[in-house]
Amino acid sequence: MSDFLYFFTFQDSSIAFVVIGITLLGIGSAYVGTYSFLDKKALLGDAISHAVLPGICLGFMLAGEKNPIYIVTGAFLSGALATFLTSWLKSNTRLSDDAIIASILSIFFGFGVVLLTVIQKSGNPEMAGLNQFIFGNAIAILEEDLYIYGGLAILIIITLTAFRKEFSMLVFNADFGKSIGYPMGAIRLVFNVLMILAVVIGIQAIGVVLMAALLIAPGAAARFWTDKLGKLLLIAGAFSAVSGILGTYVSFVIPQMPTGPWVVVFLSLFAFASFLFAPKKGVLSRFIARKYYLKKTHQDHLLKLIYHGLESGKNSFPIEEIYESFPYRKRQTKHTIDELLKTDLLTLNQGLIDFTSKGKSEAKRIVRLHRLWELYLNEYMNIAPDHVHDSAEKLEHILTPELEALLENRLNYPKLDPHQEAIPRDNDEL
Amino acid sequence: MIINVDSPVLEIHDLTVSYDQSPVLWNVDLSLPAGKLIGILGPNGAGKSTLIKAVMGLIPITGGYVKLFDRELNEVRSRISYVPQRESVDWNFPASVLDVVMMGTYGKLGLFRRPGKKEKKIAMDCLEKVGMQAFVDRQISELSGGQQQRVFIARALAQEADLYLMDEPFAGVDMATETAIFQLLQEMTAAGKTVIVVHHDIHSAMNYFDWIIMLNLHLVASGPKAQVVTEELLRKTYGGKLNLLTKVTDIIRQKDFNPLKS
């Protein structure tokens, strides 16, 4: 607890710096990553983040120490080379995208690991810090590094905000942009530079192996919550920043704990929670919607059953007969009858079920939709009368009042369905 | 039968286009009059979309040149509007109908500047013209095929151009939308605009267009409907593959370089 308070009250100014840095970094990479996720180029981010490792090592070898300028420049150049090679190979060979990305990723990363081993064998006392670039360590970031990483993050955020309309067009419809004379090639170049920069600023805190997660996961998680670009960017930025801060906290509390994996753990929690609980698109809300729909169809079928009984001359319906009509589903049927009684569609009197007037008109509506649809299939699609029932059985639950009006109009308010049964209207006597 | 006109809106001179190795358009040479509704017809793979993409500079050309209003494309871009195929974009992109239509104003707006009230007004007016004003705040992922096409046409109208190049605006739309779009295009040509439409259905083409271009890897015909719609030319356009031309294309594809490229 005291660790928690110490960390989150920012008594230590270096912690405040780290938190500011990781927040900026998180927002910046989530912004870039959301665009590349929408552009379906998620894998490119992964390739770039692995491909910066040889640049980091070369920068270290040239400087002889962990100099942020050398390392950032090396990482940027190596990321840029990987990006350039990716598009060059694409236009000059017949290799598929995934083959190109996989090769670039593994070749660059392999080369980087070789360089890293060489540096470790050299016995340079500074090399301890270099391992952190694999999985990241936010706490070890020095204040002077933070100015560089934070500054670059702000540059990314400002550029993306200022050119939002251009980048949106690049992702949505680049051909149209080209047709109105926008330099789409240059805009793509700027975007790629921003993407490489986002990777470069994340390598110290998150590490090259997991940086791609910070690019892609926030946008992918946020996509469950909204269909608006502005909101999408905000939510992605928030997910990313919060995960970044929590990951940093864990690596502050537990010594020797790398930051990157923990940031990814928290990001995954956000993504998983979005996948499960987001309204409309989440698994849970789709599950509930389906449950609700099944319940509704059972109610509809029950009302229809009673209606058919009354239609064939019965005066009332014993409840036991309803149970028998839905064998093996007695519990569900009982539940549905209770619901219908509660919503005032049915009455129950001494074991006999009857409609209320509200229930009768609802039952008529369902039967009407069923029979109208059967007639439509028969008349307009030339489907034989003995083939129309199954389709109507499903569509009676979903046809809207507008479609009902359209069907009535198209069929000219018919009296009988293809089986010569009456199509009931609200004022008709049963 | 290729009929040329004086002071054409669009002049295509000896245009050859190849994708990678394979030539898809051979020596297309035509000129088109202003104020007409013009249809580009041809079978699948005839190079119809390729032709208008080449005109818009979206794909490199192997030989020949294109002139619009007797100028280079870059000098007259603001007077030209291009409507890509509806399927060429991802409609799941998080944008509203208004966002997409407003893109039509970006050409005049220029880089960096953000659209404001004036641009929104133009976009709203254009949405009204295609009967989509009620959908202004709708997300584009929720639109039907016909509505998507109307949004694309509204975006083109927002460009306030003189020449419109539309790639399959009638593909996959319902009858009501097809009629509405056709009426709109007629109004545009009546107002002096030129509209060039890539179209796949011959039967409706006979009703829709004033001027018809028939294409099948090479130019078969270009001229007023009454003069070019003959059984012979239709057979030449649609009647089977051009075996010889296809064989030549195959030979070129097997080479390591494209001999048509200078």
Domains of chain B: 10-254 (3.40.50.300)
Q: What is the mean predicted confidence (pLDDT) over A70-86? A: 94
Contacts of B60 in chain A (CB under 8 A): none
Average pLDDT over residues A270-297: 92
CA distance B76 to chain A (A): 10
Asked if the model's pLDDT at residue B176 lies above 90, the reply is no
Of A38, A163, A165, the CB nearest to B93: A38
Chain B environment of A172 (Cβ under 8 Å): 89-90, 93, 95, 100
**Highest mean pLDDT pick, A412-416, B43-47, B80-84:** B80-84
Strands B218-224 and B211-216, how do they pair?
antiparallel
Say yes or no for a CB contact (<8 Å) between B114 and A165: yes
A36-54 pLDDT, tens per residue?
999 999 899 999 999 999 9
B155: chain A residues, CB-CB within 8 Å = 176
CB contact under 8 A, B84 and A176: yes
Instruction: With a cut of 80, say whether residue A11 has pLDDT above it.
Output: no
| Whether the predicted pLDDT of B5 surpasses 90 | no
Q: Is the pLDDT of residue B38 over 90?
A: yes
Predicted confidence (pLDDT) per residue in A376-416, tens digit: 999 888 899 889 899 898 889 988 888 999 999 989 999 88
More confident residue, A204 or A300: A300
Termini Cα distance of chain B: 29
Range B216-240 average pLDDT: 86
Encoded tokens for A82: 């990987």
Average per-residue pLDDT for chain A: 89
Which residues, numbered 221 to 240 in chain B, qualify as contacts with chain A under a Cβ-Cβ cut-off of 8 Å?
Answer: none
Domain extents in chain A = 1-264, 285-355, 360-411
CB A216 within 8 A of CB A178: no
Instruction: Please judge whether A168 and B99 are an interchain contact, meaning their C-beta atoms are less than 8 angstroms apart.
Output: yes
Among candidates B82, B90, B115 on the partner chain, residue whose Cβ is nearest the Cβ of A179: B82
* Three-state DSSP class for residue B15: strand
Cβ atoms of B83 and B185 within 8 Å: the answer is no
Q: Please report, rounded to a whole number, the percentage of residues in chain B having pLDDT higher than 90.
A: 64
Q: Which residue of A has its CA nearest to B164?
A: A179
Q: Chain B contacts of A232, Cβ < 8 Å? A: 94
Give chain A positions within 8 Å (CB) of B139: 227-228
Show Cβ contacts of residue A29 under 8 Å, excluding neighbours closer than 6 positions: A153, A156, A198, A199, A201, A202, A211, A214, A215, A218, A240
- What is the ipTM metric for this complex? 0.90
Find which of A167, A176, A187 to mutate to test the B interface (most B CBs within 10 Å of its CB): A176
- Identify which has the larger pLDDT, A118 or A8: A118
Task: Give the model's pLDDT for residue B96.
Answer: 94
A179–chain B Cβ distance below 8 A for any pair: yes
Closest-CA distance, A25 to chain B, in angstroms, reads: 24
Would you say residue B238 has pLDDT above 90?
no
pLDDT for the residue numbered B242: 60
Where is pLDDT greater, at B110 or A123?
Answer: B110
Chain A CB contacts of B111 below 8 Å: 166, 182-183
Facing B89 at nearest CB: one of A172, A182, A226: A172
Which pLDDT band, with edges at 50, 70 and 90, does A12 fall under? confident
| pLDDT band for position A128 (cuts 50, 70, 90) | low
- Predicted TM-score (pTM) of the model is 0.85
What gap in Å lies between CA A246 and CA A266, rounded to an integer? 7
Whether the pLDDT of residue A307 is over 80: the answer is: yes
How near does any CA of chain A get to the CA of B16, in Å?
A: 20
Mean pLDDT of A407-430: 86
Give the Cα separation of A224 and A245 in Å (integer): 22
Question: CA–CA separation, A376 vs A384, rounded Å?
Answer: 11
